[in-house]
Amino acid sequence: MESLRDKAKAFRALHAQPMVVLPNAWDAGSAAVLEHAGAPAVATTSGGVSWARGHGDGQGLSRAEMTEAIRQITAAVSVPVSADIEGGYGPDPGDVAATVTEVLGAGAVGVNLEDSRAGTLTLFSPSEQAARLAAARSAADEAGLPELWINARTDVFLFGVGEPSGRLADVLSRATAYAEAGVDSIFVPGLVDLEALGELTAASPIPVAVMAWAGAPSVAEFAAAGVRRVTVGTALAQAAYGVALRATQEMLTGGTYDELSSAMDFGALNGLFG
> Does 2-234 carry CATH code 3.20.20.60?
yes
Q: Global pTM?
A: 0.95
| pLDDT band (50, 70, 90) for residue 157 | very high
Q: What are phi and psi of 44, to 5 degrees?
A: -100, 160
CA distances from 65 to 46, 59, 78, 98, 273 (A): 11, 11, 22, 14, 23
C-alpha radius of gyration, the chain, whole number:
19
Average pLDDT over residues 208-236: 98
Rounded-to-integer distance, Cα 14 and Cα 16, Å: 5
Query: Where exactly are the structural domains of the chain?
Result: 2-234
Tell me the C-alpha distance between 233 and 191, whole Å. Answer: 13
Tens of pLDDT, residues 100-146: 999 999 999 999 999 999 888 899 999 999 999 999 999 999 999 99
Q: Which pLDDT score is estimated for 1?
A: 57
Burial of 76 (0-12, 13-18, 19+ CB in 10 A): buried
